[in-house]
Amino acid sequence: MMIFRRGVVARALFVSLALLFLIPCTAAADQGSFWIVPGGGIVWLPNEFLVKPSRPEFGGILGARLSPNWALEAHGTYIKSPGIRPGVSSLSVSHLDGNLTWFLSSDQTVSPYLTAGAGFAYFRRIGASGGTNRLDFGGGLGFRFAMSERTSFRIEGRDLTYKVLIHPTGPEKYRHHPETFAGISFSFGGAPKDEDRDGVPDKVDRCPGTPAGVRVDASGCGFDSDNDGVFDGIDACNGTPQGAVVDARGCPVDSDKDGIPDGLDRCADTPAGATVDASGCPHDADEDKVYDGIDQCPGTPKGCVVNTNGCPTDADQDGVCDGLDECPETPANAKVDRTGCPIIVSDRETQLLETGMIRLQDINFATGKAEIREESRAILDEVGGILARWPDLRIEIGGHTDSRGTAARNLKLSKARAQAVLAYITEKFLELDPDQFTAVGYGASRPIADNKTELGRAKNRRVEFKVLNKDVLRREKTQQRLVPKE
């Protein structure tokens, strides 16, 4: 008998599992708060009842959700089976159980579940005046197949156990009551299904699967106000500039750490510490190929050779940087000019030191004009170089003419020529301060030779550089150190 009962239970479970593969699985999981499941199945009654053991049953399930995975369910069925012997009347069986049901998966299309509980079974012979109640308990295995947001298909195999009278006068013993049940579940209550939990029900969500934390619009699609590919709500860096490369958090990537995000940085791999423009390219104000920010000697003269810190090198230590030094091997302690070459004290510099004036009688101008001829510029370059070594001197540039022409014309012409000389040397030698110079025209009023001869007139046509602060000249002369000889 026990082997038979076990076979009955096995058949019930087999039927339940076989039906599993007949149901399409395309809908989302049912998440209603309450449900009702009308349906029916097949039951196998104990042989002691002397009725046909396998009979159809009708009933249903009423459920209430406790949590996403747990529920309380009331399961009730009705069975009627005819007797199998003469004189044995038909038997009706009604039972109502309370069950605790555990859905192994709360949000999947197919959800297996286990159920167990206890209740009462009522047995009544047709034609009898009354019936019998028995306490029953049992459990089972089932599957829930979601069909829509509010409907699902339920199928399960159960086994109830209750006491049965073995003989009319014999003892009562527990017997098994296996059954299969299937039905359509209709749920109600609870929030609409929202699988990605973005606050927009699945049935109107145009963007399912939105990551947790994303701010969405009414259709369930995420906002991305800065268009960086990372949705608002999980974007840790809102307002990212258009075109910038960002990380998974939505923050700009800046590989060279120059403050300009990758994607907008036109000069990747900028050295650390260099200052850059809005496009991420380094500044080099003095064009020495060492970027501002890491250049320790900004303002290096153009053409100087510099070290890795951007500071000019000076191999011969003469004060003129390599690259501009035209005499790169100047002996130590030798005084040099602006080109880095040793100073040779010229006759004109000696004249300046001894007399406080440099007189030039070989400066030629265009006839009757203040235009300096090309052959006179080398002489003015020499004088400019001399004056550049004496920056504290105040100099008057005086223009002088011979006696030919009117006095007024000669005065005007001499002043124009003095101003032309001043403009030339201050433009050529930027280290000269124009405020230290004045230009004066004397015309023919201060001759130094006889204007009656050609030689005398040539001497009178001259330009004079006259020191106005001779006290400074005397002090500088006292401190002067002559260039040592080899």
pLDDT in tens, 90-125: 999 999 999 999 999 876 789 999 999 999 999 998
Strands 395-400 and 437-443: parallel
Residue type, 56: P
Looking at residues 333-355, what average pLDDT do you find? Answer: 80
Strand partners, 1: none
Top mean pLDDT of 22-31, 73-82, 274-283 is at 73-82
**Contact 309/323 with Cβ under 8 angstroms?**
no
Is the pLDDT score of 3 beyond 60?
no
**Contact 197/214 with Cβ under 8 angstroms?**
no
**Predicted local distance difference test score (pLDDT) of residue 346:** 78
Long-range CB contacts (within 8 A, 24+) of 83-90: 83/50, 83/51, 84/50, 84/51, 84/52, 85/50, 88/50, 88/51, 89/125, 89/126, 89/127, 89/128, 90/51, 90/125, 90/126
Kindly state the percentage of the chain with pLDDT values over 70: 90
**Contact 207/216 with Cβ under 8 angstroms?**
yes
**206: region left, alpha or beta (phi > 0 left; psi from -120 to 50 alpha):** alpha
Helix/strand number for the chain, H first, E second:
6, 12
Angstrom distance (rounded) from CA 10 to CA 165: 24
Write the burial class of residue 80 (CB in 10 Å: 0-12 exposed, 13-18 middle, 19+ buried): middle
Across the chain, mean pLDDT equals 86
Write the DSSP string, 29-93.
Answer: PP--SEEEEEEEEEEE--GGG-B-SEEEEEEEEEEEESSSSEEEEEEEEEEEE-BSSTTPPPEEE
pLDDT in tens, 266-312: 988 888 888 888 888 989 899 888 988 888 999 899 989 999 899 99
**Predicted local distance difference test score (pLDDT) of residue 23:** 43
Name which of 68, 64, 73, 69 is nearest 34 in CA terms. Answer: 64
Angstrom distance (rounded) from CA 480 to CA 466: 20
Angstrom distance (rounded) from CA 29 to CA 345: 104
**418: region left, alpha or beta (phi > 0 left; psi from -120 to 50 alpha):** alpha
**Predicted local distance difference test score (pLDDT) of residue 344:** 67
**Predicted local distance difference test score (pLDDT) of residue 337:** 77
Domains of the chain, earliest start first: 2-188 (2.40.160.20), 199-244 (no CATH), 301-333 (no CATH), 347-479 (3.30.1330.60)
Angstrom distance (rounded) from CA 37 to CA 25: 18
Q: How many CA atoms lie within 13 A of 352 on its CB side?
A: 29
**Contact 173/158 with Cβ under 8 angstroms?**
no
Angstrom distance (rounded) from CA 318 to CA 323: 13
Radius of gyration of the chain measured on its C-alpha atoms: 56
Is the pLDDT score of 10 beyond 50?
no
DSSP 240: P
Q: Is 427 helix (H, G, I), strand (E, B) or coil?
A: helix
CA 390 to chain centre: 59
**Predicted local distance difference test score (pLDDT) of residue 478:** 60
Number of neighbouring beta carbons within 10 Å of residue 262: 16
Confidence of residue 29 (pLDDT cuts 50, 70, 90): low
pLDDT in tens, 351-370: 888 889 999 988 888 888 89
Q: Which residue has the tokens 């001399």?
A: 386
Angstrom distance (rounded) from CA 148 to CA 145: 9
